[in-house]
Amino acid sequence: MTLMQEKVNQAIEILKEQQTDLWLTFVRETSGVRDPMLDFLIGPNDLTWPSALILTRNGEKIAIVGNLEKDALSRTNVFDTLIGYDTAVSGPLRDTITRLDPNQIAVNTSRNNVHADGLTHAMYEILCDYLKDTPYADRLVSAEPIINAMRGRKTQEELERIRKAVEITDEIYKKTFDFIKVGMTEIQIGEYMHRLAQEYSVGLAWPAENCPAVNSGPNSPVGHNGPTDIKVEPGHIIHFDFGVKYKDYCSDIQRLVYVLRDGETEAPPEVQRGFITIRTAIEKSREAMKPGSIGNSIDVIAREILVDAGYPEYQHALGHQLGRVAHDGGALLGPLWEKYGDDPKLELEVGQVFTIEPGLAVPNYGYVALEEDVIMTENGAEYIGEPQRELIFIKG
Amino acid sequence: MTLMQEKVNQAIEILKEQQTDLWLTFVRETSGVRDPMLDFLIGPNDLTWPSALILTRNGEKIAIVGNLEKDALSRTNVFDTLIGYDTAVSGPLRDTITRLDPNQIAVNTSRNNVHADGLTHAMYEILCDYLKDTPYADRLVSAEPIINAMRGRKTQEELERIRKAVEITDEIYKKTFDFIKVGMTEIQIGEYMHRLAQEYSVGLAWPAENCPAVNSGPNSPVGHNGPTDIKVEPGHIIHFDFGVKYKDYCSDIQRLVYVLRDGETEAPPEVQRGFITIRTAIEKSREAMKPGSIGNSIDVIAREILVDAGYPEYQHALGHQLGRVAHDGGALLGPLWEKYGDDPKLELEVGQVFTIEPGLAVPNYGYVALEEDVIMTENGAEYIGEPQRELIFIKG
């Protein structure tokens, strides 16, 4: 069974569990706007004309697409029923929905999870128009709970791909740490990591411009930034944020290096203290992650550890889910801020993969943050790969 | 000036011309759902948190983004005012719109042009919520006319990139025609073209699965399909559909080859007749394309030529615009079918690049279609690159 077939079957099980009759992904010209769920439903293909991809609680798998795209779609062996059309999708769509007579039609709209929000406003209006003289226009509901479950609950195959992505990331980091010398620029280090990714034949987990982020010393702009021409100097913390994409699945890992100054054999106390605080925050939040925990309650733990130690709050979430994209959606280890919607209020589930990534600044030295990837099991969160437990030193 | 800066300045001129006060692109987590206009506004970067990109008729260029993404955005030198926030975009967004006090707020929603339809339904609802106690919630209009003009009117730099993409496509075709031998599969030919694209360091204009399309003989599935294991045989028409992406700009070209049978020195009469009909339809429709023509009127010309010659109507548009994507939006040389919305009713403008691509089947031989790329000038449509004027023969 292909991964797409496996995920579509999982979606049907989720429809049963959530008692939702029908899930409709309604798209057009996906080279322009691509619903994120298409990766699970049609793979890397595009659909040119208005198309309806329907899964039902009874196990039906129906695609209504332009006739010129039927053959390509049939080759994916995902849909049992392929309905082609030449000029107008509205007729076959209305007929199909009338035949299925669903009590709920879940569509890809969500205020919280962007990956459940692929339906554009105009496509929503067009859909309502097509259904306006039927009983079904009033039965539209958000597919957010279906998509949260489907993207969150990793299958064995998905998890293996993420494990491999993490393993490769770890190897690239090790080679990079051996490569770094005082006087190199952040950009040179970033380029070396790009070359290594190519050697491993993997993609990057987010756009190359800021994957990796490389921050050497206190003056490097932290956040979603690319490397600059700042040079590595003794006394710098070097902070990395990097991830690769292996067979469509991502890793997302932050690492820390300290560049020893003349005579130093370890990092200065304030750097050590920052490192230990971050390590502790990660370990304590990981230990608290159990199936059924609320994401926000985990963010609170890490946030308090930093604040209690006298550091300011990090201005982002403690961790996000990881999957086909580095920032996958649904339950979030995040604060209750507007920008995160309701995602931090959701429960953690077995099979979800999260990052844990608190951060703090150490004045005069640089940015101290680590990011570990964990998988939710019945017993709680387990590290994928080896976490960074000690500062790594580079000789100045 | 970078291409992004040039296009943003062009957008401001279009706002003046269309007397629209403000254009707002409102997005979040663009690794999940990416508004197609972001390529022009932020390049390949992603924005993680809810972000508002504002251009005004008075020439203001304002970005409201998460603080952690301000530095990366400032490096693009596109926006004059960067407003950062930590937890909630709603406050700075409301404040900025109130200060600007626009009579119209154009947002990226369009029933016709998918590239003007990047605003999701939930983001539209969120925006309305943010503006609900202001006079501005009722001032939302569609940015479709702005985006149609901006994507359609190619600058010199954009046109040069498309020209280069067409040139490279032509070279790849020539090498491929020299490479083809009887007995090769469509897949082998497709793989060879992929290797050539790599040698030329260009991307593909649409997903690799069906770029190129290679259809050898009468039994190959035509449409948006990838190559199959059907083998090239004497008496086959081989039809190609292929395009490359050079510096983010696309070509999209169809070509025809005929595989001579023992003793043949030219193609059989029905193949020749099909080829001439297609050539004529392309040439006549190109000649009719003038600034101000309605797209549909051009489709009608080619469609009638085919029907008058006894062939069935092609089940797609005669031609679409070409730009950063192979199927760029706005004015379309298309029939008035539901699936094309109002795009075929729009006027042609100077600076637009179109494909012209009628097609027909010749029973027992294969699919006959050509696709040429043309640029709209004051005097009408001019070919970009050399059109295919004669059938190309391969010895069987």
A286-325 pLDDT per residue, tens: 999 999 999 999 999 999 999 999 999 999 999 999 999 9
- Asked if residues A54 and A63 have their Cβ atoms less than 8 Å apart, the reply is yes
- What does the pLDDT average to over A6-23? 98
Q: Is the ipTM of this complex over 0.95?
A: no
B74-121 pLDDT per residue, tens: 999 999 999 999 999 999 999 999 999 999 999 999 999 999 999 999
What does the pLDDT read at residue A225? 79
B chain contacts of residue A141, beta-carbon cutoff 8 Å: none
What does the pLDDT read at residue A223? 76
Q: pLDDT at residue B189 above 80?
A: yes
**Binary contact (A69, B45; C-beta < 8 A):** no
* Per-residue confidence band for A251, with pLDDT thresholds at 50, 70 and 90: very high
- What does the pLDDT average to over A30-47? 95
Rounded Cα gap, residues B240 and B307, in angstroms: 23
Counted across chains A and B, CB pairs separated by less than 8 A come out at 188
Q: Which of A33, A113, A187, A230 to mutate to test the interface with B (most CBs of B within 10 A)?
A: A33
Q: How far is B135 from chain A (nearest CA, A)?
A: 21
Q: Which of A44, A124, A223 sits opposite B209 (nearest CB)?
A: A44
Which position has the higher pLDDT, B223 or A190?
Answer: A190
3-state secondary structure of A12: helix
Q: pLDDT at residue A229 above 80?
A: yes
- For residue A314, give the chain B residue with the closest CA: B86
* Per-residue confidence band for B181, with pLDDT thresholds at 50, 70 and 90: very high
- What does the pLDDT average to over B197-213? 96
Type of residue found at A250: C
- Asked if residues A394 and A260 have their Cβ atoms less than 8 Å apart, the reply is yes
B chain contacts of residue A124, beta-carbon cutoff 8 Å: 121
* Per-residue confidence band for A29, with pLDDT thresholds at 50, 70 and 90: very high
3-state secondary structure of B333: strand
- What does the pLDDT average to over A145-160? 98
Across chain A, mean pLDDT equals 97
Q: Which of A49, A117, A123 sits opposite B339 (nearest CB)?
A: A49
Burial of B281 (0-12, 13-18, 19+ CB in 10 A): buried
Across chain B, mean pLDDT equals 97
Q: pLDDT at residue B156 above 90?
A: yes
Burial of A48 (0-12, 13-18, 19+ CB in 10 A): buried
Segments in chain A forming alpha helices (H): 3-18, 38-41, 70-74, 90-100, 121-130, 144-152, 156-179, 186-199, 269-288, 295-308
Q: Which of A72, A117, A122 sits opposite B109 (nearest CB)?
A: A122
Q: Which helix (H) or strand (E) holds B49?
A: none
* Per-residue confidence band for B19, with pLDDT thresholds at 50, 70 and 90: very high
- What does the pLDDT average to over A352-368? 97
What does the pLDDT read at residue A70? 92
For A9-42, letters b (16+ CB in 10 Å) and e give: bbbbebbeeeebbbbbbbbbbbbbbbbbbbbbbb
Q: Which of B29, B44, B325 sits opposite A209 (nearest CB)?
A: B44
- Asked if residues A162 and A151 have their Cβ atoms less than 8 Å apart, the reply is no
Q: pLDDT at residue B223 above 80?
A: no
Pairing state between β B359-362 and B366-369: antiparallel
Q: pLDDT at residue B197 above 80?
A: yes
B39-79 pLDDT per residue, tens: 999 998 899 999 999 999 999 999 999 998 998 899 999 99
What does the pLDDT read at residue A396? 78
Segments in chain B forming alpha helices (H): 3-18, 38-41, 70-74, 90-100, 121-130, 144-152, 156-179, 186-199, 269-288, 295-308
B chain contacts of residue A118, beta-carbon cutoff 8 Å: 33, 120
Which residues, 6 or more positions from A199, have their beta carbon under 8 angstroms from its beta carbon?
none
- What does the pLDDT average to over B336-359? 97
- What does the pLDDT average to over A59-63? 98
Q: Measured between alpha carbons, how far is residue B340 from residues A34, A35, A53, A88, A325 in Å?
A: 18, 19, 19, 9, 32
What does the pLDDT read at residue B232? 98
- What does the pLDDT average to over B140-157? 98
- What does the pLDDT average to over B316-334? 96
Q: pLDDT at residue A143 above 80?
A: yes
3-state secondary structure of B56: strand
* Per-residue confidence band for A197, with pLDDT thresholds at 50, 70 and 90: very high
Structural tokens at position A171: 């190897």
Q: Which helix (H) or strand (E) holds A232?
A: none
The answer to whether the predicted template modeling score (pTM) of the entire model surpasses 0.90 is yes
